[in-house]
Amino acid sequence: MESPQPHSDFILTFACPDRVGIVAAVATTLAQDGWTITESQQYADPDTRRFFMRVRFAADRDTGLDDVRATLAPALDPFEMDWDLHDATAPLRVVVMVSKQGHVLNSLLFHARQGQLPIEIVAVVSNHPDWRDTVEWHGIEFHQVSVTPDTKRESEQFVLDLMERTGAEALILARYMQILTDQMCRDVHGRAINIHHSLLPSFKGARPYEQAHRHGVKVIGATAHYVTADLDEGPIIEQDFRRVDHRSSASELAAMGQDLEARALVHAVRAHAENRVLLNGMKTVVFD
């Protein structure tokens, strides 16, 4: 039997000041090095005058990330780019944080196990023991880490150390009901995703679905966004919603809302894992 032919598959993402010649420089460099572009999307923001691009390219040869970076750097650096290169075949390693509500965690576990999300959940951290059996059934590390005002930074450092030990590249807050410190937000900037139980900005604080019910809302939803020190105001990645009317009780709204939360976070995690999200100030560019 013949050995499988070597194959390399990478994704280049970048943002830079908008100017003529960016796409041509990228395409020419890749073509000259023998790469075939398999996907390409770009966006020029007329407000910030910044250019965003995602390019996937492949070749029938075994090439490492460092070699490709060395090839691309001379062509990209003159454009003042913030750029990164990703192995398109490697799943994103993530740590998930959860409290007592497990509907979002269960959705992530299911989609990852079914191969419907390009992620590997390497560990789950919780301030409660409720989901230990479920997580360990999946063969995933579970860590219960109690959080008090006096131990908050210690617990956050545990998570950072865990991410370093496991090689996790992202942190997912799957209804984790603790506010991260400003320092933790800085430590995980651009790689921590939270799910919020409404269409932001709306009905902040406790019991959001009862607030929505009292106000007679006609749409409920959920927002997945990057974590920042400004509570629930990070750049939005994904939002999902459903129309409702006066017949919906608060408990029915909550049940529908939990489904929306799970769906929105799964979509946001998929987009992040596939390197389709680029930060644009307080906004995001999310390619299809």
Query: Token pair of 229, please?
Result: 């020190």
82 is catalytic: no
Q: Are residues 224 and 200 in contact, defined by beta-carbon separation less than 8 angstroms?
A: no
Q: Label residues 15-38 b or e (16+ Cβ within 10 Å = b).
A: bbebeeebeeebeebbeeeebeee
Give the span between the Cα atoms of 192 and 171, in whole angstroms: 5
Long-range contacts of 241-246 (CB under 8 A, 24+ apart): 241/199, 243/218, 243/219, 244/217, 244/218, 244/219, 244/220, 245/218, 246/216
Query: Token pair of 277, please?
Result: 């999200």
Strand 92-98 versus strand 170-173 pairing type: parallel
Give the span between the Cα atoms of 30 and 205, in whole angstroms: 49
Looking from the CA of 261 toward its CB, the CA atoms found within 13 Å total 24
Catalytic entry in 232, 240, 245, 288 = 232
Query: Token pair of 253, please?
Result: 């709204």
CA-wise closest residue to 277 among 241, 223, 238, 229: 238
Q: What is the DSSP letter of 114?
A: T
Q: Which are the catalytic amino acids? A: 232
